[in-house]
Amino acid sequence: MQKLLPLLFPFFLLTSSLQLQQFTLLTLTSQSVHQNQVTNQSNFSLPIYHISSFSNHTNNTSTFADRIHRDSARVASLAHDLSLPLDRYKLTDFGSDVVSGLSQGSGEYFIRVGVGTPAREQYLVIDSGSDVIWLQCIPCDQCYSQSDAIFDPSTSASFSAVTCGSRVCHLVSGTNCGSSDESCGYMYEVSYRDGSYSKGVVALETLTFGSTAVSGVAIGCGHRNHGLFTGAAGLLGLGWGPTSFLTQLGGSAGGVFSYCLASRGSSSEAGSLIFGRTEGVPVGAVWVPLLHNPRAPSFYYVGLLGLGVAGVRLPLEEDMFQLSEDGYGGVVMDTGTAVTRLPQQAYSTLRDGFIAAAVGLPRTSGVSIFDTCYDLNGYSSVRVPTVSFYFTEGAILTLPARNFLIPVDNSGTFCFAFAPSPTGLSIMGNIQQEGIQITFDVANGFVGFGPNTC
């Protein structure tokens, strides 16, 4: 079985005044709401696990097929939802019929979180495109199978129902509250385009990350849940909205979180997720401004100006990636999408430029959503042209080979891991983010690409 190994220089961060690397080496082997309190420390980290940790599949072919199935569903959902009229997004995260960034119940990356007092560990999907925090709870009228025992709020000393006097209730529309001491009693519903959903009540609970406990976190306690969530108990929303986990932390984390998604085939079994400015902001990072889209306020948009192959910028109009004044188009950074999607013209130009520069690589037929694949069976290493993102303010991110040529079977087939978008929306997927320390300084409105790798 062919698979990737870590490269010596996983990525290169340059400015437009520097000469870009033209080729890289692909090495192969033979196979808070305001009342939140944080105890112990204000900067804390925890490992991130890929969904393959929960999979019974032992070969690239089945793993690839599952990943593309999830990916296509999510992209279809994002493309649909980000093209809806603006008033479609007036519902808050715990409102009725909320649609998060997660279109397929499974998700891609998980973290281990202690829920309640005493803490009972659960796997939660991390989603940078959602503000929802929820998990399955007893009594469970309808629940799917998960890796751990379903959380029972009656056994937690820190679980409390949300009252009408709570700020959480005022973030939710249609609660029909009476006195301030009355239970909010609001039934939340989170739905996904594939038919998955979670329904339950809003409550406050303590979440524990390693030795750090965060109290008073607004969560959804799901009593009716359905979907292919692959072992996870629920979801931790990290989006740019009022009820995301980062927002609820308030000043405790300085408005900063950072993650590094472990590369496929690396020696590290897990990546890392860090909350807090002290450890979360890497020295030497290159920073790109975040863009806010009122049409999709939970998502993190970035300003992309162009693309490059082999150190040469491609002839693309800069407005191809522009976020319009009415909220259409633009470039979203997303942990839940695997393969980067680009507008058709941008994708075609990038693909053709790569093919032209990849002289001598043996082509083979396309696989699934990929139309550009290579037969690398029997090779120990190959020299391939680099691929670069040109961001605003002069920042350039040049990817290693492993972040754009990926194995799709056990026979040495590697494919160019980009695909056309069904709309003008571009999505920077997690394959292109792997192995890079990415920091969201939401308080100051920047995303940083750091030199540290995992």
Which residue in the list 93, 334, 409, 441 is annotated as catalytic? Answer: 334
Terminal alpha carbon distance of the chain = 23
> Which of 81, 93, 127, 441 is flagged as catalytic?
127
Contact between 146 and 125 (Cβ < 8 Å): no
Active site residue 87: no
CB of 58 within 8 A of CB of 398? Answer: no
CB-based contacts of 304: which residues, under 8 Å, 6+ apart? Answer: 321, 331, 389, 390, 391, 392, 426
Contact between 406 and 412 (Cβ < 8 Å): no
Question: Catalytic: 334?
Answer: yes
**Which of 403, 358, 362 minimizes the C-alpha distance to 383?**
358
What is the torsional sign of CA 49, 51, 54, 55? negative
Q: Whose CA is closest to 6, among 235, 199, 263?
A: 263
- How far is the CA of 435 from the CAs of 138, 255, 268, 320, in angstroms? 38, 23, 10, 27
Q: What are the residue numbers of the active site?
A: 127, 334
